[in-house]
Amino acid sequence: MSQKGELTEVPAIDLAPSFDPGEAGRDRVAAEIRRACEEIGFFSVIGHRVPDDVVAVLQREAKDYFALPLEEKLKTPQPPEKISRGYSHVGSRGLAFSMGKETPPDLQESFAMGPVKPAPSAIVGTPQEKLFFFPNSWPEQRPGFRAAFEAYYCEMDRLAVHILRLFARALKLDDGFFDEKVNQATSTMRAIYYPPQEQMPALGQLRAGEHTDYDTLTILKGDDVPGGLQVKLRHGGWVDVHPRSDAFVCNVGDLMMRWTNDEWVSNLHRVANPPPEAMKLGRLSVPFFHNPNVDAEIRCVTSFYGKGEKYPPVRFGDFYLSKHMKAQNMTKAPEASARSG
């Protein structure tokens, strides 16, 4: 195991060698990923093979959507069950609540979607179908929106599976270790718009309060403007993330942290407010939250790090509920983090 805490910025990793035939390229990339996941929990990827136009069309559609009048956006509201679908207006979410921290609401609006594929037959008719495969709703006034979002979602799913295969290699597992746990994935994607700030935020109010992601892996495309993503360093302080313009930022989620017995870090991050001279700049950001199959068992991988299990095995569906609902409802979590189950 490498010395923890050496990385003080988010490293850029070129995935291109991992697509080469043969093992050498995959080994090299997996080693780079492993170091990033152990030390800072974040890395950016280039050479990922996601077509530029899929990203550009998504960003254009998302920006045009957020420019619509509020009453138009409210025509596809978030479902009352607080499932990650549809439009959430400014003031309706506070991510720090998921960490047990009470703050004013985050300064963001968003549009969320879930799986493109239908629910697996085993869960049709169960409450889990309703929760994880709740139908997506699409803004009728934007004809290209759905196709742009679905195309991007499918690219992210493909990239997530590729990165998970590298995660498996980094953990000295078979490359396909995660494959059967993610072949009916329940991932969600959220286009977030952080509007220009017309007045000073309230005390403790951010664009996105500090939190960890409770998924396997997040893949994020965000505008690199002031008032952007910041990652907590192990020894305190926050570092700004400035990815290359063609890069995606990836981070380890709580599930992967559990899978690795906390050897990999699901790190705290937040989205800062812009400095006064940049308050007029909005920011678009699109995180893809990769989630496994509903019944995937999250059980720590002891073979590599060789330590006992810190956490009891948990089914993904149960784990998800414990944390997600707290952020959505903006009710304080009873414990500092839902990680302990």
Ligand X SMILES: O=C(O)CCC(=O)C(=O)O
With CB cut-offs between 5 and 8 Å by kind, which of ligand X, Fe ion, none does residue 217 bind?
none
Question: Which partner, Fe ion, ligand X, none, binds residue 290 by CB below 5 to 8 Å per kind?
Answer: none
- The label of the residue with tokens 């703050």 reads 103
Note whether 273 and 210 are within 8 A (CB): no
| Total number of residues that touch ligand X (CB under 6 A) | 10
Closest CB 306 distance from ligand X, rounded Å: 32
326 binds ligand X (CB under 6 A): no
Among 86, 139, 287, 317, binds ligand X (CB under 6 A): 287
Decide if residue 208 touches ligand X (CB under 6 A): yes
Q: Which residues sit at the interface with Fe ion, rule CB under 5 A?
A: 213
* Residue 206 or 294 having the CB closest to ligand X: 206
Give me the residue label for tokens 């199959």: 293
For ligand X, the binding residues in 33-52 under the rule CB under 6 A are none
Instruction: Copy the structure tokens of residue 189.
Output: 């994607």
Closest by Cα among 262, 236, 170, 216 to 5: 236
Query: Does position 192 bind ligand X by CB under 6 A?
Result: yes
Strands 188-194 and 283-290: antiparallel
Distance, CA of 52 to CA of 127 (rounded, Å): 38
Q: Which is nearer to ligand X, 29 or 107 (CB)?
A: 107
Cβ-count burial 271-309 (b if 16+ within 10 Å, e if not): bbbbeeeebeebbbbbbbbbbbbbebebebbeeebeeee
Give the closest residue to 15 by CA, choosing from 40, 2, 32.
32
Residues sharing a CB contact under 8 Å with residue 109, sequence separation 6 or more, in sequence order: 66, 73, 87, 88, 89, 90, 192, 193, 195
Query: What burial letters (b/e) apply to 162-187, b meaning 16+ CB within 10 Å?
Result: bbbbbbbbbbebeeebbeebbebbbb
Nearer Cβ to ligand X (169/269)? 269
Of the two residues 155 and 213, which places its CB atom closer to Fe ion in the complex?
213
Residues 214-273 that bind ligand X (CB under 6 A): 220, 222, 229, 269, 271
Say which entry of Fe ion, ligand X, none residue 260 contacts (CB below 5 to 8 A, set by partner kind): none
CB of 326 to ligand X, least distance (A): 14
Q: Report which of 157, 162, 153, 156 is spatially closest to residue 20, judged by C-alpha positions.
A: 162
Q: In this complex, which beta carbon is closest to ligand X, that of residue 269 or of residue 290? A: 269
Q: In the complex with ligand X, which residue's Cβ is closer, 123 or 264? A: 264
Q: Is 284 near ligand X (CB under 6 A)?
A: no
**Considering CB distances under 5 to 8 angstroms, the limit depending on partner class, which of ligand X, Fe ion, none binds residue 10?**
none
Min dist CB 249 to ligand X, Å, is: 7
- Residue 230 Cβ, how far from ligand X at the closest point, in Å? 9
Footprint of ligand X (CB under 6 A): 192, 208, 213, 220, 222, 229, 269, 271, 285, 287
